[in-house]
Amino acid sequence: MAEPSRPRVGSRPRVGSRPKVAAKYLESFSLGLRGALEYRANFIFSLLGAVAPVAIQTALWSCLYVPGSGSDTLFGFTYVQMLGYVVVANIVSRLVRTGFEYDLNDDIRTGGLDRFLVKPIDYFGLRLAQFAGAKSAEAAFMGVALAAALAALAAATGFSGGIAAALGFVAALVLAFALNFLVFWCVGLLGFWLTEIGFLFEAARIVIITASGGVFPLSVFGPGVESALKALPFRFTIQFPTEVLCGRVAGRELAAGLALAAAWSAALYVLARLLWGVGVKRFVAVGS
Amino acid sequence: MKNALREIRKHFRVYLALVRMNVMSQMEYRANFVTGILMELGYLVVKILYVVVAFSSGRKIAGFSPDEMLVFIGTFVTATGFYAGLYMMNFFQLSTLVRDGSFDTLLTKPVSLQFMATLRRCDIGIFLVDTVAGVAMTVVGLSRLSGPFEAWRLLGYVFFLLCGSAVGYALYLIPQSLVFRIVNARAIAGISDSFWDFNNVPMVVYDKLGQAIGSYVVPMFVITSFPSLFALGRMSGAQVLWGILAPVVFIAVSRLAWTRGLREYSSASG
Amino acid sequence: METIEVKGLTRHFSYYEKAEGLSGSLRNLVSRKKLVREAVRGVSFGVREGEMVGFLGPNGAGKTTTLKMLSGIMHPSSGTATVLGHVPWLRKKDFRMRISIVMGQRSQLWPDLPALESFNLNRAIYEIDRKDYERTLGELVELFGVKELLGVQVRRLSLGERMKMEITAALLHRPAVLFLDEPTIGLDLLSQRAIRELIRTLNERHGTTVMLTSHYLSDIQELCERVVLINSGEIVYDGALSGVNATLAERKVVRLIFSSPVAKGELEAYAGLRADAAALGDPGLLEATFDVDRSQVRDFSRRALGELPVADLTIEEVPLEEGIARLFRAGAGHG
């Protein structure tokens, strides 16, 4: 891998010079990428952490479904579909997981944000580029893990996905990354208003994963709660890509889902900008 | 005998002082305290989802009704209160304790070292959230089941719950005894921690091999499934026997692992 | 029988050589080269009841290791020791009830709570009767003058105040033997003096046997009649402080910083110009250090301030390593 050019200390960036600015984002991207490669053990550990819930839930569903019946459905899933859901959702939820909210909060609390506010560089863009870099490395690892898991599942149960589903999944996954980034960006911005965040991010994460269908498909909540949760953007971060890969969402429904996810991303982006604007004003006023 | 009783009373007094100090320290960091409870509530919701699945499917699980599932999962939540509220933090901090030298100071105190190193910290907020929710779930589950619930059954349930809690303590301490040899015991704690959730569904859900391993080799089912089985009147004779023996065996093994690790520490460390 | 008896106490640490880079790591997997460092080598001495002994030596000399063995934290590689009739590293309860150790760089107090809470915990741990506890605490608090600080969170205390609290916590059960490892490390001069005074009072009033390590000579000078000098794991001197005092403490290092360069020749007019300083810079020096007899420091400073363009002047102790080296050259080591 080529060593990215580091900005020299003291060299003033020329305002508005496009290539230089792009280089900064590229550098952030590569920073995230290298970080993910360096700490790949962490990601592999977190994938191993998915083994326990997959085993637990597989055991549970095997008891709940009528044995040997391919047509038996629960919560709108056949047995094979449910197993596919368990495997894919557990991997996807680990893949889209963020962590930058702690850095963001640190930058707000320690005043490290100052450095960025005076530069002709967008802090949001830098963090997004870094996130994208880290995630593209992890996605490569995950691609292998997922393919292996699905092959095993196919051999054991006759589960089948297909190329179209895989392509749709990639599109849905990209949107899931974007949405989850935006969601946790907004959560992280709470640091502007709270002096201590404690375990707030972890509390938010567990609730958001649940509302995204990361534990069980949303249909287990019953029709009322399900439709309420479906009206929120969270399901597009886990349940939607999972169902696309499992072949439960295709064609027109897939297109509509992608469009809705994109619309949610746009809406959250606007919200993020608004929160950022108000927060920075406060940050500068408080002068922390 | 008299001496042993005196020591037990003393350690009880020390524990009370420690609990008091933990509560006071937590009040110093209210944000941590409050958000810690929020986080535990989040995890609680995930555990309850398994109950939701049982009820909304309306099916029996390996011969157990949704109400019986509620008893199992309520017991699991209660046991989690003990684990996450009283033990876990200490295990996670053990390597820090050794590295920053606080462990050395503990070594010179006239009090059980294992007691101080593994029970020093507690989070009463988490303990209360889980035990209150867990007991409530168990009581609701039991009261929905037909038939009176006799006093002896309650006593037996509490007895096996405490036995299970002791097994949980031992089971999670054993890998931590490696802390004296391996610097990064946090990873060990993290991995063994993820095994805890196997109790989120009753042991009957797993196949025969899984049940045997989870009962006798890595006896995590003794922690939460055994007391529930007893309360539901579905515990086999062998399970009763093992339920009583397992805490003795595993506390002894953990004690052994601990003293071995410790010997290595005081003869090898700098 | 003496309160502390030590015979041939030795402690090795083994560690592995780590070759550099990935290939080195791989090679280590196959065969590792085991290296041994001798931290303490055959140390022997005895301490009488009520005695206050200073353990003096440079960093890494083996002071803390010895103290750790005597307080039961660590096993020796060989040799024997008894403290109050017990073998420390067996860590019998009776032994642990009667000793205390304070390590300057480690806290046994809970940082987020007032020290009083940690005292209360120690009351339970050492099974102290409430009446005794209140009497001892009252006495110590008065002695230390820390009454108002009892309710303040430990992390808000100054380093000196914290150390007073650490020592209080260590004394509540009235130990017969007190080990103090670098109790004044990092403290300002005023706090250092306060801590020293406390230790002396304690020793005089209660007859507590005290073993104190330090790499500040002044700690030991003011507290201990007897000093044990340790260097590279071996005792190089054991005896009255007066025996080494002359060599170690009678000289000071005076450092001068000049506002404009001063010619070397001009500085050589003063006795005791240190070689390391003299070897530097040719045309003129901006900084110079001198070895000066303690009795001469005042005159020396006055003269230097009058004759040289001095911007700053500091007076320091002779570094301990150097003092010990000089002690050897002087042939004073008869321990």
| CATH number of the domain bearing residue C260 | 3.30.70
pLDDT value of residue B166:
94
* CA nearest to B265 within chain C: C74
Give the residue-averaged pLDDT of C82-93. 95
Whether residues C40 and C179 share a domain: the answer is yes
pLDDT value of residue A3:
35
Any domain includes A8: no
> Distance between CA atoms of C81 and C75, rounded to whole angstroms?
11
Give the residue-averaged pLDDT of C278-299. 76
| Paired tokens of C307 | 């004759």
> Distance between CA atoms of A210 and A199, rounded to whole angstroms?
17
pLDDT classification of C18: cutoffs 50, 70, 90: low
CA angle A15, A16, A19 (to 5 degrees): 110
Alpha helices in A65-199 (DSSP H): 79-95, 100-110, 113-117, 123-157, 163-188
pLDDT digits (tens, 9 = 90+) for C185-244: 888 888 888 888 888 888 888 889 999 988 777 788 788 888 898 888 889 888 887 777
Half-sphere exposure of B265 (CA within 13 A, CB side): 25
Q: Is A77 helix (H, G, I), strand (E, B) or coil?
A: strand
**DSSP bridge pairs for C55:** C213, C228
Are C254 and C313 in contact by the 8 Å Cβ rule? The answer is yes
Chain length of chain C: 335
Checking if the pLDDT of B68 tops 90, the result is yes
Q: Is C106 on the interface with B (CB under 8 A)?
A: yes
Is residue A46 within a helix (H) or strand (E), and if so which, with residue range? helix A40-48
CA–chain centroid gap for C294, Å, is 22
The rounded percent of chain C whose pLDDT value lies above 90 is 39
ipTM score of complex: 0.88
- Touching subunits of A (3+ CB pairs, under 8 Å) are B
Whether residues C85 and C158 share a domain: the answer is yes
> Distance between CA atoms of A163 and A254, rounded to whole angstroms?
14
> Distance between CA atoms of B206 and A55, rounded to whole angstroms?
9
Whether residues C255 and C239 share a domain: the answer is no
Q: Is C238 helix (H, G, I), strand (E, B) or coil?
A: strand
pLDDT digits (tens, 9 = 90+) for A167-202: 999 999 999 999 999 999 999 999 888 888 889 999
Ranges B74-83, B161-170, C32-41, C169-178: which has the least confidence:
C32-41
Q: Hey, what amino acid is at B39?
A: M
- If phi > 0 it is left, if psi is from -120 to 50 it is alpha, else beta; for residue C85 that is left
pLDDT value of residue A164:
84
**B47–chain A nearest CA distance, Å:** 10
Q: Domain range holding C316?
A: 250-329
> Distance between CA atoms of A39 and B224, rounded to whole angstroms?
36
> Distance between CA atoms of A128 and A121, rounded to whole angstroms?
12
pTM, to two decimals: 0.83
Whether residues C43 and C123 share a domain: the answer is yes
Alpha helices in chain B (DSSP H): 2-28, 30-57, 66-82, 88-99, 102-107, 113-119, 124-144, 151-176, 185-195, 208-212, 220-231, 237-268
Q: Is C126 on the interface with B (CB under 8 A)?
A: yes
Whether residues C242 and C263 share a domain: the answer is no
Q: Is C127 helix (H, G, I), strand (E, B) or coil?
A: coil
What DSSP string runs through B196-243?
Answer: GGGGGS-GGGS-HHHHHIIIIIS-HHHHHHHHHHHHTT---HHHHHHH
Q: Is B111 on the interface with C (CB under 8 A)?
A: yes
pLDDT value of residue C331:
47
Task: Give whole-number Cα distances, A212 to A58, A94, A239, C314, in Å.
Answer: 19, 12, 6, 67
> Distance between CA atoms of C204 and C221, rounded to whole angstroms?
16
Q: Token match 């919200």: residue?
A: A271
Closest in B18, B100, B270 to C121, CB measured: B18
Q: Is B248 on the interface with A (CB under 8 A)?
A: no
- Touching subunits of C (3+ CB pairs, under 8 Å) are B
Q: Is C12 helix (H, G, I), strand (E, B) or coil?
A: strand
pLDDT value of residue C26:
62
| Paired tokens of A256 | 């509509």
Closest CA to C167 of C189, C195, C194: C195
pLDDT digits (tens, 9 = 90+) for C89-109: 999 999 999 999 998 878 899
- As a whole number, the mean pLDDT across chain C is 85
Q: Token match 């002994």: residue?
A: C53
Any domain includes A108: yes
- DSSP letter, residue A288: -
Query: Are A55 and B198 an interchain contact pair (Cβ–Cβ within 8 Å)?
Result: yes
Last residue of a domain, one of C247, C268, C283: C247
Q: Is A169 helix (H, G, I), strand (E, B) or coil?
A: helix
Half-sphere exposure of A277 (CA within 13 A, CB side): 6
Any domain includes A247: yes
In chain C, how many domains are there?
2
Last residue of a domain, one of C197, C226, C247: C247
Any domain includes A13: no
Return the number of other C-beta atoms located less than 10 Å from residue B248's C-beta: 13
Chains B and C make contact, 3+ CB pairs within 8 Å? yes
Whether residues C33 and C170 share a domain: the answer is yes
Name the stretches of chain A with pLDDT < 50: 1-17, 288
> Distance between CA atoms of C195 and C167, rounded to whole angstroms?
9
Q: Hey, what amino acid is at B250?
A: F
> Distance between CA atoms of B138 and B77, rounded to whole angstroms?
9
Q: Hey, what amino acid is at C170?
A: A
| Paired tokens of B153 | 């059954």
Whether residues C93 and C14 share a domain: the answer is yes
Q: Which CATH number goes with the domain that contains C107?
A: 3.40.50.300
**B65–chain A nearest CA distance, Å:** 11
Any domain includes C334: no
> Distance between CA atoms of B69 and B137, rounded to whole angstroms?
10
Whether residues C199 and C295 share a domain: the answer is no
- As a whole number, the mean pLDDT across chain B is 90
Are A186 and A101 in contact by the 8 Å Cβ rule? The answer is no
Are C208 and C53 in contact by the 8 Å Cβ rule? The answer is no
pLDDT value of residue A288:
46
> Distance between CA atoms of B65 and B54, rounded to whole angstroms?
8
Query: Are B33 and A198 an interchain contact pair (Cβ–Cβ within 8 Å)?
Result: yes
Closest CA to C99 of C175, C47, C173, C172: C175
Whether residues C161 and C202 share a domain: the answer is yes
Are C206 and C52 in contact by the 8 Å Cβ rule? The answer is no
| Paired tokens of A173 | 């996954």
pLDDT value of residue C217:
75
Closest CA to A203 of C20, C118, B38: B38
Return the number of other C-beta atoms located less than 10 Å from residue A287's C-beta: 7
Whether residues C302 and C225 share a domain: the answer is no
- Touching subunits of B (3+ CB pairs, under 8 Å) are A, C
Query: Are A75 and B59 an interchain contact pair (Cβ–Cβ within 8 Å)?
Result: no
The rounded percent of chain B whose pLDDT value lies above 90 is 69
pLDDT digits (tens, 9 = 90+) for B14-65: 999 999 999 999 988 888 899 999 999 999 999 999 999 999 998 999 899 9
> Distance between CA atoms of A79 and A58, rounded to whole angstroms?
10
> Distance between CA atoms of C69 and A285, rounded to whole angstroms?
57
**B250–chain C nearest CA distance, Å:** 25
Are A149 and A50 in contact by the 8 Å Cβ rule? The answer is no
* CA nearest to A75 within chain B: B57
Query: Are B57 and A195 an interchain contact pair (Cβ–Cβ within 8 Å)?
Result: no
pLDDT value of residue B178:
75
pLDDT value of residue C333:
42
Q: Is B221 on the interface with A (CB under 8 A)?
A: no
pLDDT value of residue C334:
42
In chain A, how many domains are there?
1
Q: Is B52 on the interface with A (CB under 8 A)?
A: yes
Q: Domain range holding A193?
A: 19-286
Last residue of a domain, one of C203, C222, C247: C247
pLDDT value of residue C28:
60
- DSSP letter, residue C124: H
**B185–chain C nearest CA distance, Å:** 20
Ranges A64-73, C116-125, C267-276: which has the least confidence:
C267-276
